[in-house]
Structure 1
């Protein structure tokens, strides 16, 4: 909270910001306004500290800064609208965590980002096993952005012709999956548990392979190539879990 208990405000007009008289400098509140044609536009109500802001010194935003602010605001609104469509939930202006989905630590994100295969990680201890990580190759294969896929169940790829019974009999299956645009692809899917250093199942990895696309497996079979991703994730998770570095600390 700001030093004055949240009452500090500032008026943002015509690209200038100046604290109201009688308020302590260093804190300001951005009020809701509409973005139009390069004018400074703000959507959400949020308080934040402004380091070194002087009450007498005007803060002038350049045209490029205004454009960046507008683009960022539009991206936020777009992501919220997509979330509403995917979950059938109404997005309000209240601040909340991303539907209770824990964030991976920067160390684990860095390790997973080096793996080239198409895969997602799901959290084994949360209801419906939501996706908490999606690789670049998975995003490219399915057409879903990370903002759209995180928090969803892997059923998002299901559609007409997807056989669910196969999951009851094997951990490597050949099934029909669907991209965001509705197009289908033959999906060689490998599912495997990922255990932490204590032996507890922390995640499940889902490695997807478009059978109909051309791949360079470096002389390996598709199955062995998929297991390479599983092994890399296991090494990263076990190594980082020993030091308690799997998830970001709660704020």
Structure 2
């Protein structure tokens, strides 16, 4: 059995490989390679981070002007158990187009309440404006960043948010989404020996694989879109 350090290095290597691959134009074998990598990521996280089961988001996005993701992409994203949302930078006010069940549990909001909203609904009086500006600058530069932020749940309670934001490119190398991976630093978590940062990178890598492989087949949005 591989050591936990070896698993950490493997996840980080897969993350870096995916990051580099996003800058390339997709070739004929890209989809097959991406799917193989997805299986490796899911297998690693399932074995060493106890990510089991399957969650499928069957809800449509009813917000006016917000495109509905395809069932295939919802299925792939539903396998990722971390707390995260996807936002579309190319739509007005960068709205949320997908939210994981873990994110809904963390924040107390329903999916209907947040689809189509900007992530600022988590902010409150104690949220650092300087950190928010740092995030915006990285988004504008299409760079990833990790920050510590005080955010607010629906009931008004606060949580210390270890937030990782990263651009997600499609098979042509263009940014399709940004993924926001949230982690309540005050809660108890079982990372199975992984660091919180590596745990978050695992989620980012899995999202990248899902988007890249499905964009190569043109199935990011529902056919009606």
TM-score (norm 2): 0.67
CA shift for structure 1 position 153? 0.3
Unaligned runs of 5+ in 1: 1-96
Corresponding residue number in structure 2 for 1:90: none
Contact preservation (8 Å) 1:167, 1:173: no
Return the match for 2:159 from 185, 195, 213: 185
2:105 counterpart SS class = helix
User: Pairwise CA RMSD of aligned residues?
Assistant: 1.1
How does 1:1-251 map onto structure 2 within 5 Å?
98-169=63-134, 171-250=145-224
Runs of 4+ in 1 over 2 A off after TM superposition: 167-170
**Equivalent residues of 2:169, 2:176 under 8 A apart:** yes
1:111 and 1:180 map into 2 onto residues whose CA distance is 27
Q: What residue ranges of structure 2 are gaps of 5+ in the alignment? A: 1-61, 136-144
- Equivalent residues of 1:121, 1:132 under 8 A apart: yes
Following superposition, the deviation at residue 167 of structure 1 comes to 3.8
Q: Structure 1 residue 191: deviation in Å?
A: 0.4
State the 1:190 CA deviation: 0.5
Larger Rg: 1
Higher helix fraction (1 or 2) = 2
How far did 1:250 drift?
Answer: 2.4
* SS of equivalent residue, structure 2 residue 64: coil
SS in 1 for 2:219: coil
The Cα shift of 1:200 comes to 0.3
Compare the two structures and name the one with the higher strand fraction.
Answer: 1
- Are the counterparts in 2 of residues 197 and 241 from structure 1 also a CA contact under 8 Å? yes
How many corresponding residue pairs? 155
The structure with higher relative contact order (CA 8 Å, sep 6+) is 2
Question: CA separation in 2, counterparts of 1:161 and 1:127?
Answer: 26
